[in-house]
Structure 1
Amino acid sequence: MKHIGKVVTYLILAVNTFFIGLLLLTAYSPHIKPVAHPVESCFGLTFPIFLVIDICFLLFWLIIQKYKFALLPLTALLFCHSQIHTYFPINFHTRNVPEGSFKVLSYNIMGFNGAVKKEGENPILNYLKESGADILCLQEYQTIESPRYLRQKDVENALKDYPYHRIHTVGKGKNHSNRIACYSKFPILTAHELDYASEYNGSIAYELKIGEDTLLLINNHLESNKLTKEDKVVYEEMFKDPETERVKSGARLLIRKLAEASALRSPQADSIAREIASSPHPYIIVCGDFNDTPISYAHRVISRNLNDAFTQSGCGLGISYNQNKFYFRIDNILASKNLKSYNCTVDRSIKESDHYPIWCYFTK
């Protein structure tokens, strides 16, 4: 019996080693180039799954008092310390944000939820008006010039505290329309679209004058995963009945679409990184809808030499997409290291869009 117990223990250890390999693969998958290896570059999506498995193995070895074996999953956690902190930071908010700070808010507003008015008002517009932000970076911006819908004049009246704004139509597709907007209490000196291929998405770089300094601000809507409503239904069914043949074929379709989108985002992320590297300005903020997780090629490349504000001053998972059980933080605010962030928050108080807004205070 003693020998059988030993064999079982070493079998479990072998399984543990296998899952550690998968954990490390997912943790370092952002270094895989999506254009060359699109499927493998998506492994970061499963990082939290293998992280939980590794923690379970650690607890198992501790419970049965095999402390020598517990060093294996513990070492894996140490190798993934940076990724864990990026994915699930733990920071305490402060009530005393320093004087002179400014607030940045990024929000995919889903066209003001179709630019619909409820009793003459639009909840998203009201939220923006009451946000207290100094800079609003909006994606999927849309107004409809009809009294029944939210018009551009309605937005400008509500956001009259923001004397400077720029609205750009992005993407090169003929049958699509997507606009990105920036409303600011600080002067917007210049604005231009970054040059990369996309039918529907885009990035706008602004120069803002804040006091005596010029800030480079890049507002982004990167390539979406192009999942249809039917695809998202299949994704939800995977949680309910993962053994059905329909779900298996659907999973293959999802992986293919995610891989294709990852390959498209890769050169977009590279273009943003080049814009950051070539900036003559010491202060930089990059925000928006990345359509990718914190453990991804896009996030790694764009955040090179920048701090992730949520990692630096947020807490928890910060899930910013709120539909179809896609529980990921795909909206971000990144900043140069000479800007200190405070109280970065994914605000779940408003559910009118399929994204939650993310906001943060900064001081120079």
Structure 2
Amino acid sequence: MKHFGDFVALLILAVNALFTGLLLFTAYSPHIQPVTHPVLSCLGLTFPIFLVINGCFLLFWLVIQRYKSALLPLLGFLLCYSQIRTYLPINFRSDSLPEESIKLLSYNIMGFDGATKKDGKNPILTYLKESDADILCLQEYATVESGRHLTQKDVEKELKDYPYHRINTVGSGKGKGRTNKIACYSKYPILSAHVLDYPSEYNGSVIYEIKIDEDTITLINNHLESNKLTKADKVVYEAMLKDPEKEKVKSGLRLLIRKLAEASAIRAPQADSIANNIASSRHPHIIVCGDFNDTPISYAHQTIAQDLNDAFTQSGRGLGISYNQNKFYFRIDNILISKNLQSYNCTVDRTINESDHYPIWCYIAKVEN
């Protein structure tokens, strides 16, 4: 009987080894070039699944008191510690902030939720006005001309505390899409703004030079390639979760993986272009933010953040899920900062759900030498 128990334990250990290998493979999948291997580059999406599975194995070995076997999933966790911390940081909030800190807020506003007014007000615009942020970086920015809806004059009236703003149309399909604009509203002078040159039809990035006291910072506001999932595709995804029949899951996964892979391959050169602009910045202080449309375990995030710190990893806590529709539970909105800056209390703000994204904000200050 003892030999049979040892055999079963050995078999479970082999299965554990397989899942630990898969955990490490997904953790390091951001090194896979999406243009060459688009499907494999999407494996980072499954990282939390294998993280949970290996956690269950660790608990299993501890419960049955096979401590040597528990070293296997523990080793897996140690080898991908940085990815775990990126995905699920745990930080204490800071009650005292440096006097010179600024508050930056990034928000995909989904065209102000169709630029509608409720009782003469737009909830997203009201939120921005009351956010007390020093710099607002907005994606999918759009207003309309009709007075019955939100106009540019309405926005400027409500955001009068932001005397400097730039609104740029991005993508090669200019004029075709209503929300293919990126905006920055700032309490500090915006010295320049130009759209980065990379291929996309409705998405893009804008790089600003902003004068903050004696320093000029480089700020890059991004809306990277979306995953091209239609409402019908998202219905398929939700149906898979509610009723996971074999054929339904098989056909649904094939559709979703194809679309996710296509978008990942398009995002890769966009991320490369942003990284090149970061490397060539004339100013030592750099902030990169916006909707990356990809998870923290992805080629896009890793490439853009290679010389920067992730503000949420540095000072946030939890999963920080920033997309709030169709059960796609991922953090795809980011604030990244150069290593001579420090973030405080980075927060994905779930108090407003008018857009399909939650806003992300943090306080930023220079690192004291």
Task: Sort the TM-score into its range (normalised by shorter chain).
Answer: over 0.9
Report if the CA contact (8 A) 1:242-1:248 is conserved.
no
> Matched residue pairs, number?
364
Asked if 1:194 is matched to 2:196, the reply is yes
> Matches of residues 7-156 of structure 1 in structure 2 within 5 Å?
7-156=7-156
In 2, Cα distance between the equivalents of 1:3 and 1:39? Answer: 42
In 1, Cα distance between the equivalents of 2:83 and 2:240? Answer: 26
In 1, Cα distance between the equivalents of 2:137 and 2:232? Answer: 30
2:251 counterpart SS class: helix
Give 1:319 shift: 0.2
Report if the CA contact (8 A) 2:168-2:182 is conserved.
yes
Asked if 1:182 is matched to 2:184, the reply is yes
- Residue number in structure 1 paired with 2:171: 171
Report if the CA contact (8 A) 1:172-1:198 is conserved.
yes
- Residue number in structure 1 paired with 2:337: 335
In 2, Cα distance between the equivalents of 1:271 and 1:2? Answer: 60
**Matched letter for residue 350 of structure 2:** R
1:168 counterpart SS class: strand
TM-score using structure 1 length: 0.99
- Residue number in structure 1 paired with 2:235: 233
1:345 counterpart SS class: strand
In 2, Cα distance between the equivalents of 1:176 and 1:246? Answer: 33
RMSD after superposition: 0.8
In 2, Cα distance between the equivalents of 1:75 and 1:146? Answer: 60
In 1, Cα distance between the equivalents of 2:202 and 2:147? Answer: 27
1:99 counterpart SS class: coil
TM-score using structure 2 length: 0.98
Residue segments in structure 2 that go unaligned for 5+ positions in a row: none
Report if the CA contact (8 A) 1:176-1:199 is conserved.
no
In 2, Cα distance between the equivalents of 1:25 and 1:40? Answer: 10
Task: Please list the CA deviations of residues 194-221 of structure 1 after superposition, one character each: whole Å capped at 9, or x if unmatched.
Answer: 0000001000000000111110000000
In 1, Cα distance between the equivalents of 2:245 and 2:115? Answer: 41
2:314 counterpart SS class: helix
Q: Which residue of 238, 241, 244 maps to 1:242?
A: 244
**Matched letter for residue 71 of structure 1:** L
In 2, Cα distance between the equivalents of 1:341 and 1:309? Answer: 6
Q: Which residue of 289, 298, 321 maps to 1:287?
A: 289
Give 1:225 shift: 0.3
- Residue number in structure 2 paired with 1:252: 254
Give 1:237 shift: 1.6
Residue segments in structure 1 that go unaligned for 5+ positions in a row: none
In 1, Cα distance between the equivalents of 2:63 and 2:284? Answer: 51
In 2, Cα distance between the equivalents of 1:322 and 1:269? Answer: 24
Task: Please list the CA deviations of residues 68-108 of structure 1 after superposition, one character each: whole Å capped at 9, or x if unmatched.
Answer: 11111100000010000000000111121121110000000
